[in-house]
Structure 1
Amino acid sequence: MTDRKNGAKTDGRNANGTFAAGNPGRPAGARHKTTRAVEELLDGEAEALTRKAVEMALGGDATAMRLCLERIAPARKDSPITFTIPDAAEAKDAGELAKAVLASVASGELTPAEGGAVMALVDGLRRTLEMTEIEARLTALEGAK
């Protein structure tokens, strides 16, 4: 490969300007110089800027209102869901729970994403119940000795 023709060779890079193997680039947490400059300009002004945004929102500025509301009550990333499922006392009952979740997704009671999240919970419950049953069997076997 040839040396770079558009400037000095940079440490940690190949001759063609790409990162060398094993060089991850910037260290984790490194901040861009523009970000650092903006943070320095705003340093100590956060309270005044917040107060002004609230005043503008109260004055009827729609953009300021939206910004204030997004900070006060951000959009929920997750919300509780309610649907009926059978009781599960043993690991073998997890199949019935899974059928109930699939039926709820099929009927539109749950979204597919919500169904996936609930299925993950059902799987966790199944594993917990299995371990509880295994522990009970082991205790019974050890007690029989």
Structure 2
Amino acid sequence: MMTRKSGSNTDGRDNRGRFAAGNRGKPKGAKNRASLVALELFEGGVQDIAAAVIDQARAGDLTAARIVLDKVLPNAKERAIALPDLPSTDTAAGVSHAQQKILEAVATGVITPGEASTLSSVLEQRRKALETMELEQRIIALEEARHEPA
């Protein structure tokens, strides 16, 4: 094992090469020299690269145009959908007709398949709620009939 001479302690280490008490080396988040050099090169060229990509997009390069648009315009996650001819969903038959209308809207391009899936999920929850309400009413009617005098 190599030991250090007692006069060469300039980096906060003891004679055995360990950090002395209270000295833990680099602070948290410190970058090494290679990372700093790469960051400097990158930052210096970003404007030139962006200008080149924009010029290519203006010249008709669709890949460059997609890159520019992806960075400038955020992806639309959701949008408001208006399907005015949806039937009432107060009955199971109404929910079924609404599902048919959603299918037709996808087929004609009014809404995307993803939007249809979301709407179908909402309708399925509505159908389950209707089913639960119907079962509750049946149970109440059976219990009342059971307790009525004969």
Q: For the superposition of Structure 1 and Structure 2, which TM-score range results when normalised by the shorter chain?
A: 0.3 to 0.5
- Normalised to the residue count of structure 2, the TM-score between the two structures is 0.46
Task: Decide which structure has the larger Cα Rg and report it.
Answer: 2
- Normalised to the residue count of structure 1, the TM-score between the two structures is 0.48
